Structure 1
Amino acid sequence: MKHFLILLSIITFISCGSTKVAYDYDEQIDFAQYKTYNFMNDMDSGLSQLDLNRLLDATEAVLQSKGFTKSETPDLLINIIADQYEDVQRNSVGVGIGGGSYGGGVSVGAGFPLGGNKNHQTITLDLVDAQRDILVWQAVSDSNIAVNTNPQDRVSYFTKIANKIFEEFPPEE
């Protein structure tokens, strides 16, 4: 039983993965030319207004810490698109009891699901060259999200997302 609990703890820890971010960018672009940013006016993020404001505030804090300035005539325009989905867990642990002798036997089996369904959120953040209207950098994050959390936890969540998204920005040349 002790080994089963240790195994269950390890599986639970691994399945509660952190935020994963994939990056893509135009390798022909000199990112040193970009100094200012702003957000697209017609952004349809898919987030509630409260969550969008949290993510915008976190994004601004990260960009300003990297030396960027918000401007009405920006070098980069930022677009945010979010999607939420439920990941149905298909993992289970089977327990069986069996017995028998001389060709006869009885067995009983049961499967117990590991964990429950998890809510995931994918956030795509596009940086568009404002003068040429072309996508120059994109990050797509995927993370577990707790649906029923308090406002402070949501601020913390979106701060973590913004920091993770901009971890590799601007790209090394």
Structure 2
Amino acid sequence: MKRIISALIFLVVFTSCGTLVHYDYEKSTDFSKYKTYNYFDDMKTGLSQFDSLRLISAMDAKLSAMGLTRADNADFYIDIQSEELMNRSSPNVGVGVGSGGGGVSVGIPIGTNQNTREIVIEFVDKKQNERLFWQAVSESTYRYNASPEKRETTLVKLVEKIFAKYPPNKE
């Protein structure tokens, strides 16, 4: 029984840590026509000025590596929004024992509540009446007290995961 509980705890802890990314896109979009990008001037990222610059720098590096170029009169524009999601409960492991008509159940909390941040990245075609054609929504742990180097590393990894499925593979 102890081995089962230990295995469950290990599994929950190591599979629950990480970033969740959800994608959506306009299925009629020809992604190959988009070669240049820029950011909206009036973005309200919800991040500190330094973290906004770190995120944009990581995105510029990734998009450049993907063959896209930042330009003044771009094919599409990027909007970034984020929101802190407070008091997300860490996973619990439930153990139940029962026989006949009764039973006992115990919930074992793993870790503590943690701050998470949802970041939404949207690609908009301004030439087509500001048509949204691609969106990624990520949720990951966020530590305000992390060093600038750690924050930068975290944002670079986040950008890698966000753009792992861009452009979408239409099947």
TM-score by length of 1: 0.82
Partner of 1:73: 73
2:120 is the alignment partner of 1:124: yes
2:88 is the alignment partner of 1:62: no
Q: 1:50 to 1:115 in 2, by over 3 A?
A: same
The count of corresponding residues between Structure 1 and Structure 2 is: 160
Q: 1:112 to 1:80 in 2, by over 3 A?
A: same
**Residues of 2 paired with 1:129 and 1:110: CA distance?**
52
Partner of 1:19: 19
Q: 1:124 to 1:111 in 2, by over 3 A?
A: closer
Quote how far apart the aligned CAs of 1:50 are: 0.5
2:159 is the alignment partner of 1:159: no
Partner of 1:52: 52
Quote how far apart the aligned CAs of 1:130 are: 2.2
Partner of 1:9: 10
AA at the equivalent of 1:9: F
Q: 1:110 to 1:170 in 2, by over 3 A?
A: closer
Partner of 1:147: 144
Q: 1:116 to 1:27 in 2, by over 3 A?
A: same
**Residues of 2 paired with 1:32 and 1:89: CA distance?**
41
**Residues of 2 paired with 1:166 and 1:111: CA distance?**
37
Kindly, what percent of the aligned residue pairs are identical?
A: 38
**Residues of 2 paired with 1:141 and 1:66: CA distance?**
20
Q: Which runs of 5+ in 1 are unaligned?
A: 95-108
